[in-house]
Amino acid sequence: MANIQSLDPTASPLDYYGWELRRQREAHGLRQGQLGDIIFCTGSLIGQIETTKKVPTRDFSERVDAALGTDGLFSRLIGLVLRSQLPTWFQPYAEMEAKAAYISTYQAQLVYGLLQTEEYARAVLATGMPDDLEGLLAGRMERQRILERERPPLAWVVLDEAVLHRPIGGHEVMRRQLARLLEFAGHRWVHVQVLPNEAGAHASLAGSFTAMRFDEDPDIIYTEDVISGHMTANPETMREAALRYARLQAAALSVEDSAELIIRVMEERYGDCSQPEEHPVA
């Protein structure tokens, strides 16, 4: 295990978190095992987090704050830590996403990240065989906290019907993922439409894209290729994307009819949970 004293607290949010946890624990005269007993975890876990071998969770951070009386320090730090676990090329997008007032996205392959269940997200991320699957997963789940705000962004999601039929993670995982989508059927801030297969050729055969509007910053369009993401605020690109999205929404089922299709797929394709599970290999 690395010596905590060798950590540079300015190197990354995770390094700072580990350095500060060690500093606060020692200031309270506690050994790792003693702090672990107080917050119901092992001393080994404390040591792994202090040396950046493990990424802390939000629950862990809240328990540390309560145990050490740190006035929400670690609860505030954890957001920075988890966002830092996202791929470097994706972090600028995540920062803009967190500030967006309005998000409109078309997804041709997968459920939109903010609407993914943890199981589904794990299966998706595992396909890239990452070195730190748990860190990436924690970062993706942290992004979803913007939907829990008192005033979250208005999010309009168009999913290609193929997304519903692609068995990511196996039948049980997909059934729970589709049930998650149905939770937004009457949501005030999140609306889900399905672009049915019968729509045939449509305005975004080239692939998925996301548009974001802000209260103060220029509008942005985000797209991804195999290994990176691209953002632009070019006005002509924004106009073209807005036109394409309007055509997608016109071709998509209504929110109500989309929910009915999701229910039908969930029952007909994933209703028999006795079928063997498909386990992705990390």
Domain boundaries, the chain: 13-83, 87-270
| DSSP secondary structure of 199-238 | G-S-TTTT--EEEEE-SSSPPEEEEE-SS-EEEE--HHHH
Separation CA 211–CA 103 (nearest Å): 6
Q: Tens digit of pLDDT for each residue in 60-94?
A: 999 999 999 999 999 999 999 999 999 999 999 99
Q: The tokens of 130 are what?
A: 């990452």
Question: CATH: 1.10.1390, 3.30.870, 2.60.40, 1.10.10. Which one for 87-270?
Answer: 3.30.870
Q: What is the pLDDT of residue 213?
A: 96
Report strand pairing: 154-160 vs 102-107: parallel
pTM of the model: 0.85
Report strand pairing: 220-224 vs 209-213: antiparallel
Q: What is the pLDDT of residue 170?
A: 94
Q: What is the pLDDT of residue 222?
A: 97
Q: What is the pLDDT of residue 173?
A: 97
pLDDT by 10s per residue, the chain, length 282: 445 557 789 899 999 999 999 999 999 999 999 999 999 999 999 999 999 999 999 999 999 999 999 999 999 999 999 999 999 999 999 999 999 999 999 999 999 999 999 999 999 999 988 888 998 999 999 999 999 999 999 999 999 999 999 999 999 999 999 999 999 998 999 999 999 999 999 999 989 999 999 999 999 999 998 888 999 999 999 999 999 999 999 999 999 999 999 999 999 999 855 444 444 433
Q: What is the pLDDT of residue 165?
A: 97
Separation CA 178–CA 176 (nearest Å): 5
Report strand pairing: 209-213 vs 190-195: unpaired
Question: CATH: 2.40.50.140, 1.10.260.40, 3.30.465.10, 1.10.3210.10. Which one for 13-83?
Answer: 1.10.260.40
Report strand pairing: 190-195 vs 154-160: parallel
- Closest alpha carbon to 89 in 250, 225, 229: 229
220: which strand partners?
A: 212
Separation CA 211–CA 66 (nearest Å): 39
Separation CA 54–CA 173 (nearest Å): 26
Residue given tokens 């953002």 in the structure block: 231
| DSSP secondary structure of 1-14 | ---GGG--TTS-HH
Separation CA 176–CA 92 (nearest Å): 30
Q: What is the pLDDT of residue 246?
A: 96
